[in-house]
Structure 1
């Protein structure tokens, strides 16, 4: 099965989420003291620009002809950066290709949602965070943590007639229906919520900090209302 463009293409959010990996790979070619990622709407550089007096380097990040963002490297070695300048666009392409391949292993090819492994990893991270708070309640500001920081919520959404849809309309129709439902599911989701595909006909939402079951119920009802609009007429 081919990976759909919506699933494999990098976005600005991907750059922010994989910022550490991007700098790890770029650091194999050029060193800097610190960096910043920004997203200009006008006057974006087409090629890398070296500002020797400020020891800064502007590195535009293009993917498939579109500008994703600009990486500003501070504290670069001017001599090394000047020598590397002609090769930096190709180096940036290699780094972005790596990020795209990493993303492809984390994203479901049909829906564009996170995979089950990503969901399980996020649940393990949240459980570890809660255990750390219990082990040392005074961490941070020295005050007791609010209840919502000691909880996480999981919403499961399942197509109960999934097998019937495949049997009557075929896999292509079912995949397109799942893709549309996933797009509707992700609309208006808070940025810290993980949306994942689970099993053949299921989706899940992981809420990292919730005050109780009512918050999960509210999010589930809102998600189902959006997904209902993604229905497709039978061929």
Structure 2
């Protein structure tokens, strides 16, 4: 993870990053042609890869597809607290995700979801996740491993604070990944969130979630909000394109 004070975003988006995007969603994406993302159904979206990075507070409210890829998520144990505005995954292009998962405000997400048993061997709870990109099946593999953890670690997991929720992120106005049924929050009472932190200037980072839990999610393509400057340690979302 970058050291505090490191640059939060690359000036340009490399061809490798764009290729990783296409490879991450093979059921949906076909190719990148110049500055156009081509979907398998023929839809074409402007990427914006030739545009310079803007201030993070601007990108987080109106990210292009290129902005979405400007920061890279590093799997593995964190090496340091995140740099200022280093929140890989918080930059989301709304049109991209609505196209992929549906518009929850129009009922386009729920018809593609199914119930999943959260921690059935520990304290069974039913959650709702999308079938798009096999997110529900991937979560079931995560759950199988989480349910084998010792009780001291399960205390961070149950109850889940929720999955599907047709809402926007409070500080950005952009739909949350929860609005697509592709995210989960674990036990809120064991978690920390940047907006709860008293702060003057820099946000004081805090986390209590053990990395043994995070590693299981990362292995299935879920990124963790605990690696964000705007930390949200209860939060995991399916974002395979973000991994470096």
Kindly name which structure, 1 or 2, has the bigger radius of gyration based on alpha carbons.
1
Q: Same fold by TM (over 0.5)?
A: no
TM-score (norm 1): 0.30
